Amino acid sequence: MFGELISRLDQPEVAAAALAALDDEELTLTIERYAEANKIGLAECVAGIVRSFVDQADDEPWMQLVGIMARSSEDPTIAAFGAILRYCARDLQSDTYTIVKGGPAS
């Protein structure tokens, strides 16, 4: 399920639905601002953030992610998605953060 979401995040309707499921207006605004400032679509931005995490995170964030998914009684996939975005969001405001562009994350 988590892998399926990741592979479809470049689709605007999937990215929008996943962000809406988080019900985190501040996080959504941060991502929207980053996408706008970098002249990329929201779906491309969200997919790129997740790809960057998948490609670059070391063991500690991954272990935290597994714990978050295990503790989530509602939807482990959305919980993991939100955790990744929150983990990366603080860096979105820096001038040096670069998302990984390309095809779907795997």
Interval 44-58: pLDDT, tens? 999 999 999 999 889
**Global confidence as pTM:** 0.82
Average pLDDT, the chain: 87
Express each pLDDT in 47-89 by its tens digit: 999 999 999 889 999 999 999 999 987 899 999 999 999 988 8
Instruction: For residues 81 and 29, give the distance between their C-alpha atoms in angstroms, rounded to a whole number.
Output: 16
Task: Quote the DSSP letter at residue 102.
Answer: S
99 pLDDT tier (thresholds 50, 70, 90): low
93's tokens: 């405001």
CA dist., res. 64 & res. 83, Å (int): 9
